[in-house]
Amino acid sequence: MKVLSVLFAIATIAGATFAQTPASSSQPLVLTGAIPLPNVHGRIDHFSFDPQGRLFVSALGNNTEEVIDLAAGTVGHVISGIPRPQGVAYAADVNKIFVGSDEGKLNIYDGTSYNLITSIDFGDDVDNLRYDSGAKRLYLGYGDGAIAIVDSTTNKRLDQEFKLGAHPESFQLEQSGPDIYVNVPDRKEVAAINRNTGKITRWPLKLDGNFPMALDQANHRLFIATRQPPRFVVLDTSSGHVITTSPCGQDSDDMYYDAARKRIYVVAGEGTISVFQQHDADHYSLLAKVPSAVGARTAGYFGKGRKGFERFYVAVPARADREAEVLIYTVQD
User: Which H or E run contains 3?
Assistant: helix 2-12
Q: Is the pLDDT of residue 28 over 60?
A: yes
Q: What is the pLDDT of residues 96-124, one digit of tens each?
A: 999 999 999 999 999 999 999 999 999 99
In this prediction, residues 222-243 reach a mean pLDDT of: 98
Rounded Cα distance, 280 and 288, in Å: 18
Query: What are the structural domains, with CATH classification, of the chain?
Result: 2-331 (2.130.10.10)
210-238 per-residue burial string, b: 16 or more CB within 10 A, e: under 16: bbbbbbbbebebbbbbbbeebbbbbbbbe
pLDDT band of 191, cuts 50, 70, 90: very high
Q: Is the pLDDT of residue 168 over 80?
A: yes
Distances in Å between the alpha carbon of 198 and those of 140, 162, 192, 244, 309?
16, 7, 10, 29, 39
